Chains A and B, each alone.
Chain A
Amino acid sequence: MKGAKADTKGRFKLTIKPGTNDLGDIKVPAALFSK
């Protein structure tokens, strides 16, 4: 599901299963750091 957004405080929910769970890359845009 592309373009899903979490709330305004960087919170997100997951139900993880036993074993190894890899979130992959959390991509942080450069624009966020220019503020």
Chain B
Amino acid sequence: MRFPSRWAFQVTRMNNCMNNFWILVALVCLAGCDQRIAPGPRANAEAVSAIRAKLTVGGAPAEGEAAAGGDTGGTESSGWATLSGSFKYVGTPPTPANVQVNAECSKHPVVNEAVVVSSDGGLANAVIFLRTAKPQVHADYEASSKDSVVLDNKHCRFEPHVAVMRAGQPLQVKNSDEFGHNTKIDPLVNSPSNAILPAGASANQDFPKEEQLPIKVGCNIHPWMGGWIVVRENPYAAVSDAQGKFTLKNLPAGRELEFQLWQEKPGFLKSVEVAGAPVKVDAKGALQAQARTGQGLGLGDLRAG
């Protein structure tokens, strides 16, 4: 009977293999039980955050290397971005009108600052700010979150004419003139104030809450003096400079953000036209556009009206 004997031989061989296998397993276990696994290198939390931030932007250069701080506000960003632009006055700009001032203010010419336009049409003192609630805020802003913002009574005008600050930052109202001023601030949400400031004096005011509208500032002693304070809950607000230019740094990229435009004369800029751009209008009339990285949005001109 050849078949059974061969079969028996194969079974015996198989059993031997199995025995060898279990012996090997036992040896491995014995050897392994005596060994202690040395602890591997511990992850550096900061390095991990930095790497995650880099990976999040998909290889594109991020604005700064710090990870996000603050409230994530639901939708995560995919990196950081700078948004820049320029307000342009279309039409014949007004000639800055000299303001009639009293004797103590006559050392320096004072002009009406309601509409200030540069020689090339740049509109100064226009504001762009982020309306999106609780955006992710870049960590770089944390360091300046409690810094004082200075509003100076200087040469019978307010410097800056439009101040931008975050809720929680203290406002230092100064008087650099050689005579007295008062600074009347009438917020809608925060506490009003009317500091009497002798020459060289200063006073502080807190704005713990965001204001939906820019706050008017005035001086009753010198009634032509006027200024504005923009108080936002996030750091993403900017005032156009003398050439009409503005920059918002380290915005959360990759998510839809809503912005608003304001200038003291017309108030909120009622409508915006975008020429030659990949822009669509949603049901509420808000513009939506996909930005391109690097070379700019390519939105062309935004026409505000």
Q: Which residues of A contact B262 (CB under 8 A)?
A: 10
- The segment from B37-45, B194-202, B287-295 found at the interface with A is B287-295
Interface members, chain B 262-290 (any A CB < 8 Å): 262-263, 265-266, 268-282, 284-290
B251 touches A16 (CB 8 A): yes
Q: 1/0 contact trace for A6-35 toward B, CB 8 Å?
A: 111111111111111111111111111101
| Interface size, A (range) | 20 to 34
B260 touches A27 (CB 8 A): no
A16 touches B291 (CB 8 A): yes
Task: Give the interface centre of A11, A12, A32 by most chain B CB atoms within 10 Å.
Answer: A12
A28 touches B269 (CB 8 A): yes
The secondary-structure label for the interface of chain B is loop
The number of chain B residues with a CB under 8 A from chain A is 79
B305 touches A29 (CB 8 A): yes
Q: Is B303 interfacial (CB 8 A cutoff)?
A: yes
B270 touches A8 (CB 8 A): yes
Contact A30-B92, Cβ < 8 Å, known A6-B272, A16-B253, A19-B61: yes
B287 touches A12 (CB 8 A): yes
Q: Is B241 interfacial (CB 8 A cutoff)?
A: no
B297 touches A30 (CB 8 A): no
A23 touches B89 (CB 8 A): no
Smallest Cβ distance from A7 to chain B, in angstroms? 4
Q: 1/0 contact trace for B37-62 toward A, CB 8 Å?
A: 00000000000000000000110111
- Chain A positions near chain B (C-beta within 8 angstroms): 1-33, 35
- Chain B positions near chain A (C-beta within 8 angstroms): 57-58, 60-63, 78-94, 115, 123, 126, 128, 131, 251, 253-263, 265-266, 268-282, 284-305
* Known A2-B275, A25-B87; 5 more pairs at CB < 8 Å: A4-B277, A15-B257, A17-B79, A28-B269, A33-B94
